[in-house]
Homo-oligomer: A and B are copies of this chain.
Amino acid sequence: MGKAHSRALLALSSLDVPLRPKLVSISGRTAEPLERARAQWGWDEAVTDWCDQVADERVGLFDNTGPNAIHAEASIAAARNGKHVLCEKPLATTAAEAHNMWTEAERAGVVHMTGFNYRFVPAVRLARELLEAGELGEIVHFRARYLQSWGWEADKALWRFDPAQAGTGVIGDLGAHIVDLARYLVGELTSVSASMRTIVPERRVEDHFVATVEFENGVLGTLEASRVARGHANQNTFELNGSKGSLSFDAERLNELQVSDAKHFRRVLTTEPEHPFMRFWWPAGHIVGWGDTFTNELAHLVGAIAGEDAVAPHGATFEDGYRCAEVCDAIVRSAAERSQTTIEYRPLSSP
């Protein structure tokens, strides 16, 4: 994530954006790899304590790409010091923590954003635009799954497998992405019924979950995520069916949106000049990469910081990060209770 963000920040230097970031300071836990990262990615300085950055007057934007367990503390400290904050997903290890981050960021009046970069895939934004334009009619079904396979062979010492650092396993890691897409494309979720499994022996977090969900607008859906689905490197896929047509997407074919009318799916290569974000990129048919979605995301963020645009609705705020966390918590709860679980959202705490 440090690499993806660093390179996207650098790429902003050649884009038509209202603010071009300077790479002031990078932090990390261990001096040596940190210095290598600093040198390679072009940061001016490196510090082993993020508190230095939070206190640093030169820092205008705090970009939090650390393990989930430090999202809340560092992001809140940064916000309190008046820094704008971008925090990677999942926003926190619990909904309560995420709610706190949202409250503090709002109280501080800074720009805040949760790093749901798939909202910045041109095909995903196009999906949202088609939905808003009524091209699919009224939505009736939604299904999403996020399948990877690296979990089978992964080093068990990874922080992602440590509940203390990661919170949950695949739910917060991959599940959070599809929950956010469900919210972005269909609307608020009101209940969930889930089951989950830890498949690889000795693993301390879940590798797999399945769920049915209900949305506020009555739509039913399914969600599934796995780190142990052989044959899939990064299949983040969703499909929506509406009364007039359908949409489907797969992140392994990032530049394609399948769009149907009543009968037939057509493959839309989302690289035409009129497609979202394409003013930054290439001629028709020349695709963008996964890394480029971070460039789109950061371009959106600096636009918000410059006051040209709002983070919401196309970027995820800390509120979105919090609401996603409520769903993730409900998935865990439902699996434990073996029941359909209602999801409740708390409003912003009054000051």
Contact = CB atoms under 8 A, between A and B. Distances in A.
Contact of A262 (B149, B212, B222): B149
Contacts of A261: 230-231
A201 to B, nearest CB: 11
Nearest to A290: B286
Nearest to A236: B285
Most chain B C-beta atoms within 10 Å of own C-beta, residue among A141, A251, A283: A141
A150 interface: yes
Interface stretch (A51-59, A86-94, A242-250, A298-306): A242-250
Sorting the interface of chain A by its residue count into under 10, 10 to 19, 20 to 34 or 35 or more gives 35 or more
B260 A231 contact: yes
A232 B285 contact: yes
A208 interface: yes
A128 interface: no
A194 B193 CA distance: 8
B214 A212 contact: no
A269 interface: yes
A288 B197 CA distance: 32
A143 to B, nearest CB: 7
A65 interface: no
B262 A230 contact: yes
Contacts of A208: 140-141, 220
Nearest to A246: B231
A310 interface: no
Contacts of A214: 195
A224 interface: yes
A23 to B, nearest CB: 9
A262 to B, nearest CB: 6
Contacts of A288: 289-291
19 contacts: A10-B13, A11-B11, A15-B40, A16-B40, A140-B208, A143-B210, A149-B262, A149-B263, A191-B338, A193-B338, A230-B245, A231-B245, A252-B255, A264-B269, A265-B266, A266-B266, A286-B291, A338-B339, A339-B340
Given A141-B208, A264-B269, 15 more contacts: A14-B41, A136-B230, A141-B224, A150-B283, A191-B338, A210-B212, A222-B224, A228-B241, A230-B245, A231-B260, A231-B263, A233-B271, A263-B272, A288-B291, A338-B339
Q: Which 4 A-B pairs have the closest CB atoms?
A: A234-B285, A233-B285, A231-B260, A289-B289
